[in-house]
Amino acid sequence: MILPGATLGVLGGGQLGRMFALRARVMGYRVVVLEPDPRSPAGQVADHQITANYDDATALDQLADQCAAITTEFENVPAPVLERLAARLPVSPTPASVAVAQERAAEKGFLADAGFRTAPFARVAGEADLTEAIKAIGVPALLKTSRLGYDGKGQAQVAALQDAQEAFRRFGGVPCVLER
């Protein structure tokens, strides 16, 4: 158990990090934020902000030296960064959990393997996979980038193969998931 008075670290300085920092401070904890943006919402209310990229080794060591435990305020902090920190102190969610959440196909596969119902989906590694994916899933469907899509970004409605091809190209040809 980490008692009040301890320092908690947060990777990410957005609104969720701000809410975390405000509540943690009310509960008696100190908060250190690691965030590249020097004017981050979380950094404005934290006890201290380390302004650096998430994979900056010196900044990560500094964060680990100051904190009793680490969390992340969003799922796109690189999982290897969390693994590095987890070698020194408790990290929650676990690096393995974050790695699964960062990749839609892995996430959907994980949930399906665990017995959860998911929308039918197909992995799309390249444009050539789109025809088979549409045959398997049908339309209408959503084409989603496997990584870094959120709040509607990296997502396109698909009513026909041509829509899927155009969206795939617009996304830069990165791996995707087609979902009913």
pLDDT of 152 above 90: no
158 and 80 inside one domain: no
Kindly state whether residue 133 falls inside one of the protein's structural domains: yes
Residue 21 CB-density burial (10 A; 0-12 exposed, 13-18 middle, 19+ buried) = buried
Kindly state whether residue 1 falls inside one of the protein's structural domains: no
Q: What is the CA radius of gyration of the chain?
A: 19
Question: What Å distances lie between residue 147 and 63, 71, 107, 115, CA to CA?
Answer: 26, 20, 11, 23
63 and 97 inside one domain: yes
Q: What is the mean pLDDT of residues 12-30?
A: 96
Predicted confidence at residue 150, as pLDDT, reads 66
CATH code for the domain of 132: 3.30.1490.20
Among 22-26, 102-106, 163-167, the range scoring the smallest mean pLDDT is 102-106
58 and 120 inside one domain: no
pLDDT of 127 above 80: yes
CATH code for the domain of 23: 3.40.50.20
pLDDT of 11 above 70: yes
pLDDT of 6 above 70: yes
Kindly state whether residue 79 falls inside one of the protein's structural domains: yes
Domain ranges, residue 158: 104-179
Kindly state whether residue 48 falls inside one of the protein's structural domains: yes
Cα 60 from Cα 75, distance rounded (Å): 17
What pTM does this model have? 0.78
Q: How is residue 32 written in tokens?
A: 């250190």
60 and 144 inside one domain: no
* Tens-place pLDDT, residues 76-125: 888 999 999 999 999 999 999 998 888 888 888 899 899 999 889 999 99
